[in-house]
Chain A
Amino acid sequence: MAGIEIRSLRKQFGDLHAVDGVDLSIRDGEFLVLLGSSGSGKTTLLRMIAGLERPTAGEIHIGGERVDGDVPPRARGIAMVFQSYALYPHRTVFKNIAFPLEAVRTPRKQIEEKVRWAADMFSITRYLDRYPRQLSGGERQRVALCRALVRDPKVFLLDEPLANLDAKLRNTARDDLKRFQRRIQTTTVYVTHDQVEAMGLGDRIVVMEHGKVRQVGTPQEVYEDPVDTFVATFVGQPPMNLLDLRDASLPAGTLVGFRPEHLLPRSVFGPGEDLRTLRFSVRRVEYLGSDRYVYGSVLESAAPDATVIAKLPANIALAIPEGETHEFAVPRRLLRYFDAATGLRRPP
């Protein structure tokens, strides 16, 4: 087991700065998620750690050993699972899982034991004689994980391993993956564009954009204390509302941010709370079972047309007629302030 140390890492493809000066310290045994939209550089970063891409500049250390130079992927003590799973189509499941062991000339008997052990861990023992094309997406994903597991890697690198699964399967697969990582305690770097996955899996999340790290923190930190408007709107569904309220007590050009679930009818708050009251002109109410999304605009806002979303839990049964203006409020302690020009967080 080992931590990963990344120092001012850069990767340029022609004029494109895919990874633009990343410093990152991944702890031993940690589950770290790289979160970003496509083109944010998260996959390139992962591929540089794997050794599939050579950095333009910077350093990568795995378990204290510098690897960014000429250490080939096979010598880095890593295992990787690709989004496509990259199974060998002409080999059975058993042979697929055995492949990394055969590569290092493990004795036959040991291969057999190791493959059975890994297959047992992911309960795919009954598929061992099948070919990848005969398996479902979820089964293939587990074969890929098995193959990564038998290498006894110092680090797991996972590139969107759940992206090809259907939504229903993804939840259980996520749970399986997290439990598996907790059990074996191997340092894991996981790339995804899905913020729900990132929140659910990561011990810490690295939010990336345009090749740069915007924020590193626990899911809670990233969600509750975003460092800028990008993180604020990228993490959370629906995203954080950002408004210029033209508040005299705030410096000019300050955006006020609050989560949709914190914008609630004035009447549901107790009398003692310090609230920021807003007149909310409701356009449409979306009933989603466990929640209601209320779409509308805030009259105090400098841009009164901008859509603001409120997320009301099912236990607030209050009727919200469409097309009317209501008193809504946000507790002041949950308001976040950003500089409109730079997007950066600003103290209240």
Chain B
Amino acid sequence: MKRVALYAAALGFVVFAGFPFYWMLVTTFKQNRDLYVGASDLSHIPWIFNDPPTLEHVKLLFGQTDFPRWVLNTLLVVAAVVVITVAVAVPAGYSLARLAGRWGERMGMGIFFTYLIPPTLLFVPFSRLVSLLGLQNSLASLILIYPTMTIPFCTWLVMGFLRSVPWEIEEQAMIDGYSRLAVILKVAPRLIVPGILTVVVFSFTLVMQEFVYALTFISSVEKMTVSLGVPIALVRGDVYHWGALMAAALFISIPLAIVYNLFIDRFIQGFTMGAVKG
């Protein structure tokens, strides 16, 4: 009986989590008539194909917008931001957690608070900075600005994660023949792999969904990221190209969902370790 209830609850969550994907899928391949007739015809069933599926939205997305280009831009920005974030946040978190003593904790909190300042407040000074550097309307501006969101949070994340990794293992390595620097370079990285993976996933997610900064700094269509290009190209005035919008969302989210699922255990480990002991 208990088991039945458990499965019922699990099924409920599966439907809850899976339905948006299903909705994207049907909308992507529905004919426009099938898509919009429900508004006037109440006997129409919205969650099945009433007319045969079509590829017209997919053709619109790939043929009449720069979608592949945006995907490429996004991947480029994401890769650069992830590299920068890992390169800065991991050593920063490590040194704050391990080397800075009591002040490390307080500084960590301070760094975390900067993450809480909303982008809507920051994009004005940032836009001055960007134009000062002559980076307006370039992907470089995003690569410069996005780490200001990812680094503070990820530093804090790494600090929390390190609290769950016993310091003794590194001390042991120092006794076993390594210098402190060698421990940091050779022993510690292997111990914090789940933490690093969490940092990668987190900065990845943050950059993928970012809209405000992209809108502020990018104006040419061929330099847009997915999160900016898709709504700008497919929402024309008050006309929403639902089929193509959903197609874009679908082609982005399916590979991401697969990648996330591959790393889900590590991801949870990294987050909960930081959370529980942080």
Contacts and interface: CB of A to CB of B under 8 A. Distances in A.
Contacts of A100: 176-177
A84 B174 contact: no
A103 B178 CA distance: 6
B42 to A, nearest CB: 60
Contact of A89 (B173, B179, B191): B191
Interface in A81-108: 82, 84, 86-90, 99-100, 103-104
A73 B171 contact: yes
Contacts of A151: 176-177
Contact of A74 (B168, B176, B187, B191): B176
A14 to B, nearest CB: 9
Nearest to A151: B176
Interface string B159-201: 0000000101101111111111000000100110000000000
Contact of B166 (A72, A80, A86, A103): A86
Contacts of B179: 72, 74
B172 A74 contact: no
A147 interface: yes
Interface in A51-85: 51-52, 72-74, 78-80, 82, 84
Interface in B117-163: none
Interface residues of A, number: 22
A281 to B, nearest CB: 51
A164 to B, nearest CB: 12
B177 A80 contact: no
Given A84-B166, A86-B166, A90-B190, A52 B176 contact: no
A304 to B, nearest CB: 50
Contacts, number: 56
A103 B177 contact: yes
A52 B169 contact: no
B173 to A, nearest CB: 8
Nearest to B174: A73
The B interface is mostly helix, strand or loop, or mixed, namely: helix
B169 A86 contact: yes
A306 B157 CA distance: 54
A99 B180 contact: no
A72 B180 contact: yes
A50 interface: yes
Nearest to A53: B171
A73 B175 contact: yes
A120 B41 CA distance: 82
A104 to B, nearest CB: 5
B176 A147 contact: yes
Contact of B169 (A74, A79, A88): A88
Given A74-B175, A79-B175, 17 more contacts: A52-B174, A72-B179, A72-B180, A73-B174, A74-B177, A74-B178, A74-B179, A78-B175, A80-B175, A82-B172, A84-B168, A86-B171, A88-B187, A89-B169, A90-B190, A147-B176, A151-B176
15 contacts: A50-B171, A51-B175, A52-B174, A52-B175, A72-B180, A78-B175, A82-B172, A86-B166, A86-B171, A89-B191, A90-B190, A90-B191, A100-B177, A104-B177, A151-B176
